[in-house]
């Protein structure tokens, strides 16, 4: 999403893409917090969440605990504004246990793979 917005900023489609995202019934942000947001990403995210606030659903998945999201956003003032719109009226689901990927993975040695 942020890459598309960066490209759109350069060719004049930025506002149109922001409006399109705002109109979506559900926005899913997967793997939130893998890297600290840049300043343009923070501002875009705030604008998106502001436009969607109280009107549309946003789902965020993350391995990063919510109490570390300020650090992932990077700017304390914008982090407060973003999290105010994202977290305060949210339903929180905390999952525990092994990853389904790990549980369903079959471990094979290189010899076993070569024989297959």
pTM passes above 0.85: no
Give Cβ neighbours of residue 47 (< 8 Å, ≥ 6 apart). Answer: 18
- Determine contact, residues 58/52, Cβ cutoff 8 Å: yes
Give the burial class of 5: count Cβ atoms within 10 A of its Cβ; 0-12 exposed, 13-18 middle, 19 or more buried.
Answer: buried
Please report, for the domain that includes residue 26, its CATH number: 3.40.50.300
State the helix-helix crossing angle for 39-52 and 76-86, rounded to 10 degrees: 30
- How many structural domains does the chain have? 1
Write the pLDDT tens digit of every residue in 1-56: 899 999 998 999 999 999 999 999 999 999 989 899 999 999 999 999 999 888 89
**Cα distance between residue 16 and residue 9, in whole Å:** 10
- Domain containing residue 67: 2-115
Write the pLDDT tens digit of every residue in 59-69: 999 988 888 99
């Amino acid at each position: 999403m942020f890459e598309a917005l960066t490209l759109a900023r350069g060719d004049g489609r930025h506002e149109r893409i922001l409006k399109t995202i705002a109109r979506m019934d559900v926005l899913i942000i997967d793997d939130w917090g893998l890297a600290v947001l840049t300043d343009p990403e923070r501002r875009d995210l705030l604008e998106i969440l502001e436009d969607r606030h109280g009107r549309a659903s946003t789902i965020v998945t993350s391995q990063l605990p919510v109490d570390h999201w300020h650090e992932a956003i990077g700017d304390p003032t914008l982090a407060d504004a973003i999290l105010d719109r994202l977290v305060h009226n949210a339903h929180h689901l905390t999952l525990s246990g092994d990853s389904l990927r790990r549980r369903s993975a079959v471990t094979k040695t290189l010899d076993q793979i070569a024989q297959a």
